[in-house]
Structure formats: C-alpha cells, structure tokens
Amino acid sequence: SYVLTQPPSVSVAPGTTARITCGGSKIGSKNVHWYQQKPGQAPVLVISYDADRSSGIPERISGSNSGITATLTISRVEAGDEADYYCQVWDSNSDHVVFGGGTKLTVL
C-alpha cells in the first residue's frame, strides 16, 4: 500500500517560513491535499490539488509537489498557524485514501 511520510514536528519563530514536507514514491504524479487541524476540531482542507488554496486561506499558505516530495509552505508564520498538518493522496491502485502521519507545527 502507498505510504506518505511526514516529519512529526516542525518548529519556527513567528514571522519566519515553515516548510512541511510529505514524501512518497512518485508523489509528484499524484494530487496532494493538505489539511490543518487544531485541537478539538475537525480537519480543514487548506490546499487541494498540490497548490490550490481553499476559500478563506491566506496567500501566505502555499503548496508545491514534485518528484518524491510535496511541500506545504507557510510564510510569515503567526501564532494562529500552530496546528497539526496532514497531507493526503488518492491511491488509484487500490481506490483508497492515504493520509500522512501528520506534522505538528509549533510557533516558538
């Protein structure tokens, strides 16, 4: 089955840039979606199809995908960005949804 690998945690200072990676075999050939989840809340779709921001998501949140790594980039990080972030793809070989293990973003 297809596996997505994320770093468990990323820590950055406010105002700097956070990059959260999602690794998978030939992930560049797949559509990657990103979810933000804050404590006690359901996940929220922030980026779909590698780089499309959902409505209401600020432009400082962006996505890219190439080769074996997809990346969620958050520029000018704010305290409110502190959350867990999950990448997700569709595995067309199995018709299954696959989530990465999640990355906890800490704003120092």
Partner 1 sequence: QVQLVHSGAEVKKPGASVEVSCRASGYTFTDYFIHWVRQARGQGLEWIGWINPDTGDSECAQNFQARVTMRRDTSTSTVYMQLARLTSDDTAVYYCARPSYCSTASCPIAYWGQGSLVTVSS
Q: Where are the beta strands (DSSP E) in 39-108?
A: 44-48, 52-53, 61-66, 69-74, 83-91, 96-99, 103-107
Question: Shortest approach of partner 1 to residue 43 CB, angstroms?
Answer: 6
Q: Does 96 bind partner 1 (CB under 8 A)?
A: yes
List, in order, residues 6 or more apart from 5 with CB less than 8 Å away: 22, 23, 24, 100, 101
Residues that bind partner 1 (rule: CB under 8 A) add up to a total of: 24
Q: Does 1 bind partner 1 (CB under 8 A)?
A: yes
75 vs 90, which CB is nearer to partner 1? 90
Q: Which residues bind partner 1 (CB under 8 A)?
A: 1, 31, 33, 35, 37, 42-43, 45, 48-49, 54, 84, 86, 88, 90, 92, 95-102
